[in-house]
Each structure stands twice: as structure tokens, then as C-alpha cells.
Amino acid sequence: MFDWDDLKVFAAVARAGTTLAAARRLGVSQPTVVRRIAGLEQATGVALFERGRTGYRLTDAGQEILPLAEQVAREMAAIADVMASRSRRLTGTIRVTAAEPVANLLLAPAVLAFQRTHPDVEIQLLLSDRFLDLTRGEADVALRATINGLEDSDLIGRRLADAPWAVYCSRGYADTKGRPSSLPECEGHAILSSERSTGGFPAMLWLEEAAPNAKVVWRSNSLASLQSAVRAGLGLSSLPCLLGRNDPELVKCFDAGGANCPDIWILSHAGARRQPHVRSFIEALGEHVIAHADQLRDESR
């Protein structure tokens, strides 16, 4: 049985007319071309060329085989292109962590766009208000609202956008108890705040401290729970504008301008970032968040 690559050499010699010209076209040495043609003729038992001083001329058998050999060469080139394309295609699994609001409004659309061009990359979403430990491998990438994304020096991060907060109440609360437009107007209102712990939300604690004559009626360490409580009309609370502007049951009272509000960071561990599919996803996600940073603000009022 002959080597299929010999057909490509055969076709090159047939078109070039000499082994030297064919060797230049193929990027190999002339002795290699001579050897491959001889091997093909020996394997098939058919003389394909007549050798002369001016070059190689096809025999009748060679004339008959040439169109078939060129077709095989084209198909082999097509197969090589497909295989090369697949070898360049990004594959793998990426575990991405984010809080649920950030995941729903920013991360999910970015993942959809990324997978249109990288269908072989699987994204596993880990929803958590708790910051998963990337250095211990709990996740590969984090999209995180945080004051200082690089508190952990082992992480690689990029600040993407501001994530301002504002004070919100429900429409029903505003109708029955009023809609304060400043901190002094919060006197006598009910306030919903976070737990006083390392996992507390600074912007909520800011409202509690800046409006001491308001009454805290609810505490929680869950942002989703606090949003639901505001929606139910229990009182006022500082919330990320990302949440407030997208909740039709809430109305903005005023900006939490004096609070220490977080920024949106994208973070990963150096080991994860070295993987091409992770690095490509990080770049795509970062550009998506920057392009949609207006969703993090609420310009109402």
C-alpha cells in the first residue's frame, strides 16, 4: 500500500514538469521528491512518468491517475484545515462565581455571547453572596462587587466599573409613608439593614449610621432577602443601583453618595488564567461589563 502523501508529490511533479521545481513548490529537497515518486511507482507497480533530460513526462497511466490524485490532494488539504481549526478551538470548563444579581444582569448575557463563538467551552455558574476562595480552587473566575478586589495578593484582577448604591423604598411605602429625598428626611422612617459583621454591606450600615433617628426594623446578611423586604414595603434600604433600577416595584429616594460603595472586579488565580479558554473568557467578560456599565447606575430622580 502506498503513502497517501505520495499522491501530493506525484501531482506536484506532474504540474511542475521537473522534480526540482516540484521540490521548491513543496518545500522539500529534490532527492526526497525523487524517492517519493519511485516509492509510489514501486508500491503500485505502475510507471507514472517517463524520465528525460528535460524533466518528467506523464505516462498514459499517469495521465489517467492525475485528476484523481489532485482530487485526493484537495480533500486531504480540506481535512487538514478542519483538524487544524478544531485544534485551535477553545475547549474546557470554567467555574465562575458571582452574587445572583450580578450573575443575572451582567454575567448571563456575557456567557451567552461568549458561547456563540466558543461553543465547546462549558461555563459552570456558582451563585453565592459569599466570596468563594479562588486560591483554593473553589472557582476559576469571580465577577465580584468589592471595595478592594486585590486584597488577596495571589489573585489577578481588573477593576471594571463603579457599582453605586442608592436608597430605595417600595411604591406602596412611598404612597403611604412618603419618599424621603435626603438623609435628614429619613427621620422617623423604618430602615432595613445588614448584619453587623465582616460580611455586612457597608452602604447599608452607612444609612443606618447617617440617619440615627430612623428605626432599624429588619436585618439580614442576604441581599436578595433585603431587596424582597424593601419590595414588601417594610422600609427604606440602601441597595445596588443594579438591583433598584431593574425592579419595577422599587423607587429611588436618593443616592448613597456618602457610602463606601464597591466596584465591579473580575478576578482569577494565576494558574487558572494561564489556560487559554479561561483567559479568553476573562477578556470577553471584562469587555462586556465595561460596555454595559450604564446598567450599574440609576439616573432617576
Q: Is the pLDDT of residue 87 over 60?
A: no
How buried is 200 (Cβ within 10 angstroms: 0-12 exposed, 13-18 middle, 19+ buried)? middle
Which pLDDT score is estimated for 43?
A: 86
pLDDT band of residue 81 (cuts 50, 70, 90) is: low
In this structure, what C-alpha cell is assigned to residue 22? 516540484
Give me the percent of the chain exceeding a pLDDT of 90.
36
Lowest mean pLDDT of 66-75, 141-150, 179-188, 194-203, name the range: 194-203
* 108 neighbors 123 (Cβ within 8 angstroms): no
DSSP string for residues in the chain: ---THHHHHHHHHHHHSSHHHHHHHHTS-HHHHHHHHHHHHHHHT---EEEETTEEEE-HHHHHHHHHHHHHHHHHHHHHHHHHHHHHS--EEEEEEE-HHHIIIIIHHHHHHHHHH-TTEEEEEEE-SS---TTTTS-SEEEEEES-TTSSTTEEEEEEEE--EEEEEEHHHHHHH----SSGGGTT-EEEEE-SSTTS-HHHHHHHHH-TTSEEEEEES-HHHHHHHHHTTS-BEEEEHHHHTT-TTEEEEEE-TTS---EEEEEEEHHHHTSHHHHHHHHHHHHHHHHTGGGG-----
Q: Which residues pair with 58 in a beta bridge?
A: 49
* 197 neighbors 219 (Cβ within 8 angstroms): no
Mean pLDDT of the chain: 87
Q: Could you tell me how many residues make up the chain?
A: 301
Q: Comparing 5-88 with 165-255, is the CATH topology the same?
A: no
Domain 5-88 is of which CATH architecture?
A: Orthogonal Bundle (1.10)
For residues 192 and 169, give the distance between their C-alpha atoms in angstroms, rounded to a whole number: 10
Among 2.60.40.10, 3.30.565.10, 3.40.190.10, 3.40.50.1860, name the CATH number for the domain at 165-255: 3.40.190.10
Tens of pLDDT, residue by residue over 21-30, are 888 888 889 8
Contacts of 185 (CB under 8 A, 6+ apart): 178
Q: Which residues pair with 155 in a beta bridge?
A: 269
Other Cβ atoms within 10 Å of 245 Cβ, number: 21
Q: What is the pTM assigned to this prediction?
A: 0.65
Residue type, 255: D
Tens of pLDDT, residue by residue over 89-145, are 678 899 999 988 888 888 888 998 998 888 889 999 998 877 888 888 889 999 988
For residues 268 and 139, give the distance between their C-alpha atoms in angstroms, rounded to a whole number: 8
What CATH number belongs to 92-163+262-296? 3.40.190.10
Q: Is the pLDDT of residue 229 over 90?
A: yes
For residues 219 and 225, give the distance between their C-alpha atoms in angstroms, rounded to a whole number: 9
Tens of pLDDT, residue by residue over 47-72, are 989 998 888 999 999 899 889 888 88
User: What is the domain partition of the chain in residue ranges?
Assistant: 5-88, 92-163+262-296, 165-255
In this structure, what C-alpha cell is assigned to residue 91? 475547549
